Structure 1
Amino acid sequence: MIKTSVLLFFMVFAFNCNAQNIETVNKVKSSYQKCLNSGSGMKNCSIEYYNQSDSLLNVAYKNLKLKLSSKEQSKLKKEQLDWLKKRDLYFEKIYADTKKEGHFIEGSSDFDMVIFDEKANYVFSRVKEIIKRI
C-alpha cells in the first residue's frame, strides 16, 4: 500500500511537472499492463489503475482551470459536472452489462477487475480530452 501511494505521488508529480502529455497516460497504461502480466493481484492492479486515472483527471482539470479566465473556468466546471453525470450513468451501465453477460460471477475478483478496467478507460478518455486543451 505504501509503495503504491509513493508511486502514485511521483506519477502525479511527474504529470504535473511535465506539462501533462499523453505520454504520461501511456506510461500509466503500460505499468498497468505489466501488473496484469505478472498474473497475481490482478484485481488490485485494476483498482490502482482506476485510482490513477482519477488522480490524473484531477490534476489535468486543475491545470487546465489555472489557464482559463473566470468565465471559461465556470464553463469548464459546468462541462465537468455534466461529464460526471454521464460517467456515473456509464459506470452503472458497465456494471449492469457485465452482470448481464454472465461471464463473471458478480462480486468475484474477475468481475471487479473488468469493472475497474472499464471505469479507468472511460476516465482516461476524459483525461486525454483535457490534456489536449492545456
Structure 2
Amino acid sequence: MIKKTLLAVLVLVSFKSNSQTLETVSKMKLNYQKCLDKGNNMSGCSINYYNQSDSLLNVVYKNLKEKISSKEQSKLKKEQLEWLKKRDVYFEKVYADTKKEGHFIEGTRDFEMVVFDEKANFVFGRVKELIKRN
C-alpha cells in the first residue's frame, strides 16, 4: 500500500513538473493495457487506471486554472461543477447498465473491472478536453 501511494505521489509530481499532453494519456492507456494483458489482478489494473485518470484530471484542471484570468477561472469552475454532475450520473448509469447486462455478477472482480474501466475512460475524456485548452 505504501509503495502504491509513493508511486502515485511520484507520478503526480512528474505531471506537475512536466506539461501534460495527450501523449501522457496514451502512455497511461498503454500501461493499463499491459497490466491487463498479464491476466493477474485485472480489477486492480482498472481501479489503478481510474485513480490515475482522477489524479491527472486534478493536475490538468489546476494547471489550466493557473494560466487563465480570474473571470475565466470562475467560468471553468462552474463548467467543472457541471461536468462533475454529469460524471456522477454517468457513473450511476455505468453501474446499473453493467448490472443489467448480466454478463458480470455484481460485486465480482470482473464487474469491478468493467465499471472502473468505463469510469476511467469517461474521466480521461475530460482530461483530454482540458489538455487541449492548456
Q: TM-score range by the shorter chain?
A: over 0.9
- Residue 32 of structure 2: aligned partner: 32
Q: Distance in 2 between matches of 1:21 and 1:6?
A: 23
TM-score in terms of structure 2 length: 0.96
Displacement of 1:23 in angstroms is: 1.1
Q: What is the count of residue pairs matched by the alignment?
A: 134
Q: CA deviation at 1:61?
A: 0.3
Contact kept, 8 Å, 1:53 with 1:124, in 2: the verdict is yes
User: Considering only aligned residues, what root-mean-square deviation do their CA atoms show, in Å?
Assistant: 0.9
Q: Does structure 2 retain, via aligned residues, the 8 Å contact 1:15–1:21?
A: no
Structure 2: runs of 5+ lacking an equivalent? none
| TM-score (normalised: structure 1) | 0.96
CA-to-aligned-CA distance 1:26-54 (integer Å, 9 cap, x gap): 11111111111111111111111100100
Percent identical among aligned pairs is: 70
- Superposition deviation, residue 15 in structure 1: 1.8
* Structure 1 runs not aligned, ≥5 long: none
CA distance in 2, matches of 1:11, 1:80: 23
Q: Call closer, same or farther: CA 1:27–1:7 in 2, change over 3 Å.
A: farther
Moved segments of 4+, more than 6 Å: none
